[in-house]
Copies of this chain bind each other. A is one copy, B any other.
């Protein structure tokens, strides 16, 4: 059983075939899928799984901190299974593809106290915009 499923069971998750399949889809491929893409891949393994269940499951995984929700400027949210390793995103303005990247340095260092306006800063999300190799041709 995957690490993800082990952690979920440890938190008292009822393990159903649907949840197992969603977890496997996310675990198997470190790509950033939309809910609908997760559903499409899940259906290949479990034909009767519903969209609602996929949405419910993804929402729970986000709440539990196992998966990150990535809202790009596109339409559908994407889900990032790489929640346990700090990273930032590279988003293709052409096709919406997302890649994980690991910039150097601490982005918070770029924001001096005078620019914090009394906020207690907890983190920074960086989205690098550009064109992927395919779209830049």
Which residues of A line the B interface, CB within 8 A?
A: 69, 71-73, 77, 90, 92-93, 99, 101-105, 107-108, 110-112, 115-133, 136
Contacts and interface: CB of A to CB of B under 8 A. Distances in A.
A34 to B, nearest CB: 14
Contacts of A77: 73
How many monomers of this chain does the complex have? 2
Given A73-B71, A107-B107, A119 B133 contact: yes
11 contacts: A90-B116, A101-B111, A101-B115, A101-B116, A102-B115, A105-B110, A107-B110, A120-B131, A121-B128, A124-B127, A124-B128
Contacts of A93: 122
